[in-house]
Amino acid sequence: MINLSRRIFLALGIWVFLLVSSSAWGKTLTVCKSCAYASVKTAVQKAKPGDTVLVKGGLYQESGIEVNKPLVLLGQNYPVIDGKNTGEIISITSDQVTVQGFTLQNVATSYRRDDAAIRVLGRNHIKILDNTILKTFFAIYLQNAEDIVIKGNKVKGENANRNETALGNAIHLYYCNNAVISNNDVQGHRDGIYLETVKDAKVHHNLSHQNQRYGMHFMFSDRNVYTHNTFKQNGAGVAVMYTHNVHMAHNTFEDNWGAASYGLLLKDISNSTIENNLFRGNTTALHMESSSRLQIRRNDFERNGWAVKLLTSCLEDTFQLNNFTGNSFDVSTNGSSANNFFERNYWERYTGYDLGRDQIGDVPYRPVSLYSMLVEKVPASVMFMRSFMIDLLDSMERVLPSIIPDQLVDERPLMKKIHHDTDRKPVQALRQTASAATGERHL
C-alpha cells in the first residue's frame, strides 16, 4: 500500500514538472502571409506570457504594436515592418521582452509625441538586438528602464537638409540604469547615442558617425563607462556635461571637423579618466571647461587643429604620457592662470636636449604658444599660421615668457614618442614616481 502511494505521488510530481516546464518554455506563434497569423500585431495580442512570436521574412505594413507581456519577438530573414509614417511601430509595456532581427522603417517626425521605432517606458530586463532601423524620428527610445541590452543594431536616419530640431536621436535613454549599449552602428540623427540622467551604463564597440550634433551626448549621467567606440564625422564627437565619475578609454575621435566642432567636449565634469584614446583630425580634439580632477593619460593627439583647449576654469587636471604630434596648436588657454599639471608627455615641437640620456628632456617645455593665445583673442590672425615671423615670436616667448602662462609647463618632457601598447618603461617609471610622492595623483 505504501509503495502504491509513493508511485502515485511520484507520477503526480512528474506531471506537475512537465506542466510547469511547458509553461516556462512557451509556445511559438508563427507569422507569415500564409501562416495562421498574417499580422504581427494580431500574433502579439494572441500570445501568452513566455511565448515567442516568430515573424518570417516579408513586408508587414503595421504600427502601434504593443508588447504588454513577457515575450520574444523574433524576426527570421529580417522581416520589414513599415510604419508608413502612421505612428510608433513597437511599444514595450512589459518586463522581460526581447525584440530581435527586424527591419523597422518609416516613423514620421512628431514634436508632441517623440515617436520612435521601438519605445520602452518604465520597464526592466529588455533586450533590443540585431535590428535595422531606417528613416525614423527617434529610433530606440527608453525611459525609466533598468537592466537593458541594446546590441548589434544598425540605425540610419536622414539628416540631409534638416536642422537639429527636425531630428530625433538614434539611441535615446532617459532616467535609465544598468544599460549595456554595444556593437551598434548609428548615423544620420541629431545625436547618435544620448544619455540623460543615466547611471552605471556600459557603452562599448559602437560606431557613431555623420550625426548632426554629437556622436554621443552625456547629461547628468554619473558612473558610466565607454570604451572602444569610434566617433567619426559628427558635428562633434562626444559631449560630457554636468557629470562625474566617467571612464573613457580606447575610443577613436576622428574627423569631427567644423567651425565649432570637437572630438571630445567636457563641461562641468569631475573625477573622471580619459586614457588610451586616439584623437585624430578634429578641429579641437579636447575642449575642457569647468572640469576638475581629471586624469588624461596615454592618449594620442594627432593632426588636430587644437589638441587641447584648456580654459582657466579647469582645476587640478593631470596630463601624463600623452603624445602630441602634427597639431596646429598643442595646448591653448584663455588666461594667465594655470592650475593643472603636465608631466612626461611627448611633444613633437620640443627642441630640447637630453645630456643624461634618460629619455627625459633637460629643458622644460611650454606647450602654450604666444600665437595660440593671439588666435584665441583675434581669430582672424589665423591667416598668419606657419609664417616665419610667428615662429620667431613663439621661440622668443618660450625662452622668455611674458604673456603665456609660465606655470603651464611640462617640466619633464619625453624625448621619444610613446608606443602605448608596447612601451611600458615610461609608464613604470612614472608609477614609481607616483608611489614615492604623496599619493595625490594616481596612475
pLDDT tens sequence across 17-68: 444 444 456 899 999 999 999 999 999 999 999 999 999 999 999 999 999 9
Q: Which of 243, 115, 139, 244 is nearest to 193 (CA)?
A: 139
Q: How far is CA 423 from CA 11, 417, 442, in A?
A: 68, 10, 19
List C-alpha distances in Å: 235 to 136, 191, 213, 364. 20, 9, 5, 36
Alpha-carbon distance of 249 to 439, in angstroms, equals 23
Can you tell me the distance from the alpha carbon of 123 to that of 387, in angstroms, rounded to the nearest whole number? 61
Q: Could you state, in order of their start, the residue ranges of all structural domains in the chain? A: 25-234
Of the chain, the end-to-end C-alpha distance in Å amounts to 75
75 Cβ partners below 8 Å, 6+ apart? 55, 57, 100, 101, 102, 103, 131
| Per-residue exposure over 196-234, b if at least 16 CB sit within 10 Å of its own CB, e if not | bbbbebebbbbbbbbbbbbbbbbbebbebebbebbbbbb
Cα separation, 211 vs 195, in Å, equals 15
Q: What's the pLDDT at 3?
A: 54
- What the block records as the C-alpha cell of 39 is 499580422
Long-range contacts of 55-63 (CB under 8 A, 24+ apart): 55/30, 55/31, 55/79, 55/102, 56/30, 56/31, 56/32, 58/32, 58/33, 60/31, 62/89, 63/87, 63/88, 63/89, 63/107
On whether the CB atoms of residues 174 and 199 are closer than 8 A, the answer is no
Residue found by looking up cell 614618442 in the block: 417
CA distance 436 to 443: 13
Centroid of chain to Cα 286: 15
What is the C-alpha separation between 198 and 220, in angstroms, rounded? 7
Rounded CA separation 278/303 (Å) = 11
Quote the Cα angle for 299-300-301, to 5°: 120
| Segments of the chain scoring below 70 in pLDDT | 1-25, 336-337, 370-371, 373-375, 378-404, 422-443
| DSSP sequence for 334-391 | SSS----EEES-EETT-----TT-SSB-SS-B--B-HHHHHHHH-GGGGGGTT-HHHH
CATH superfamily of domain region 25-234: Single-stranded right-handed beta-helix, Pectin lyase-like (2.160.20.10)
Q: Facing residues of 52 across strands? A: 28, 72
Specify whether the CB–CB gap between 32 and 56 falls below 8 A.
yes
Report pLDDT for 316.
94
Q: What does pTM read for this prediction?
A: 0.85
> How far, in Å, CA of 431 to CA of 266, rounded?
27
pLDDT tens digits along 210-230: 999 999 999 999 999 999 999
